[in-house]
Every structure is written in C-alpha cells, then in structure tokens.
Amino acid sequence: MKTLILVLLVLGISRPSMGQQQSEPIKFRGAYIGEPLSDYMDCSDSKGKLLRDGYKVHGKLCEGQKGSISNVKSKGGFMKESKLEGEAFLFEGSKLVRIVIQVPNDDW
C-alpha cells in the first residue's frame, strides 16, 4: 500500500496539472498550428514577398484566402514511380492550419 501511494505522489508531482495550458506551442519542422502568415510572407505590397528561400506560394495568401507555402520535390524518373519529398504549410485566414510532410520510402 505504501508503494502505491508513493507512486501516485511521484506521478502527481512530475506531471503538470491537467487544467494548465502549455506556455509555448509544439513546433514541428519549425512551424506550429496558429502561426501567423507574417512569419512566412511580407504582404506589404500587392504580390507579397516570401521570406523563406526554396519555398513556393500557392494561392492568394496575402488576400486572406486559403493557400499554401511549400517546398516539395518529386523524386523518380520517367520509368520510375515518382515520390514526393518535403513539406507544405497550409494557411487559412492568414493562420497556419495544417502541416503536411512528404517522406519517400522505397519499402512502401
């Protein structure tokens, strides 16, 4: 019985309270859900300027519409099955709503 109480006390001390919110968002590939578009694009002019090298813009993000910023490359050739590799950040209403990671694997 003493062991059970000790285990419960240790678990209670080491785990944060269930009602507390995390102070920092969980980042994945340097991005987090809810991140503002301004971290990726400068929308001060009509076209907008991408702030990350190697990425492409899809959609009218600076107008607040749905779209994405991606760095996805196709691997393969004419007679080989094409596989995608990279990441895409999907935005809606100037906030990051989804992170998509493409990982090629020859075993799949």
Q: What are phi and psi of 23, to 5 degrees?
A: -75, -35
pTM beyond 0.75: the answer is no
Closest CA to 95 of 51, 46, 49, 37: 37
Model confidence over 20-54: pLDDT tens digits?
566 777 887 788 999 999 999 999 987 789 998 89
Are the C-beta atoms of residues 71 and 51 closer than 8 Å to each other? no
Neighbour count for residue 19 (Cβ, 10 Å): 5
Instruction: Please give the Cα distance from 2 to 5 (Å, whole number).
Output: 5
